[in-house]
């Protein structure tokens, strides 16, 4: 069965970095886009961007340019999100979500379990 398994919760101090992984299984990793979505506890969903798992090209939403980096370990069917220079407002649950094979089919049928990133001094 198709699964996205994310790395565990993180507690970081402001200014530190964090790397979150999302390991996919049950399908051909490079056939589907991988998206990242942020959710502040108790709030709504915000799309962070996506990575083309075939070419490795990342695309970032405007609010996530600069400190955020999407990357792949395609041989391990894993997508990663690195956030540098963490700020208090980065405290959130971060999800990976599988997109479509084409932009026209880009709904999110599969989601990781979420990784809670807490930034506190």
Partner 1 sequence: DIRMTQSPASLSASLGETVNIECLASEDIYSDLAWYQQKPGKSPQLLIYNANSLQNGVPSRFSGSGSGTQYSLKINSLQSEDVATYFCQQYNNYPRTFGGGTKLELK
Question: Which residues of the chain form contacts with partner 1 (CB under 8 A)?
Answer: 35, 44-47, 49-50, 59, 61-62, 95, 97, 100, 103-104, 106-109, 111-114
Q: Which is nearer to partner 1, 14 or 98 (CB)?
A: 98
Strands (DSSP E) contained in the chain are 3-6, 10-12, 18-25, 34-39, 45-51, 58-60, 68-73, 78-83, 92-98, 110-111, 115-119
Q: How far is the CB of 84 from partner 1 (least distance, A)?
A: 21
Cβ atoms 11, 25 nearer than 8 A: no
Instruction: Please provide residue 32's backbone torsions phi and psi, each rounded to the nearest 5 degrees.
Output: -130, 140
Q: Which is nearer to partner 1, 16 or 109 (CB)?
A: 109
Q: How far is the CB of 24 from partner 1 (least distance, A)?
A: 14
Q: Which is nearer to partner 1, 15 or 111 (CB)?
A: 111
Q: How far is the CB of 14 from partner 1 (least distance, A)?
A: 26
């Amino acid at each position: 069965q198709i699964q996205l398994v994310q790395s565990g919760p993180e507690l970081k101090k402001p200014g530190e970095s964090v790397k979150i992984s999302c390991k996919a299984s049950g399908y051909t990793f490079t056939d589907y886009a991988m998206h990242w979505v942020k959710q502040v506890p108790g709030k709504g969903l915000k799309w962070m961007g996506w990575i083309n798992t075939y070419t490795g090209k990342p695309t970032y939403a405007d609010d996530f340019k600069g400190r955020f980096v999407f990357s792949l370990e395609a041989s391990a069917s894993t997508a990663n999100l690195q956030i540098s220079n963490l700020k208090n407002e980065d405290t959130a649950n971060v999800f990976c979500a599988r997109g479509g094979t084409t932009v026209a089919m880009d709904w999110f049928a599969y989601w990781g379990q979420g990784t809670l990133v807490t930034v506190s001094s």
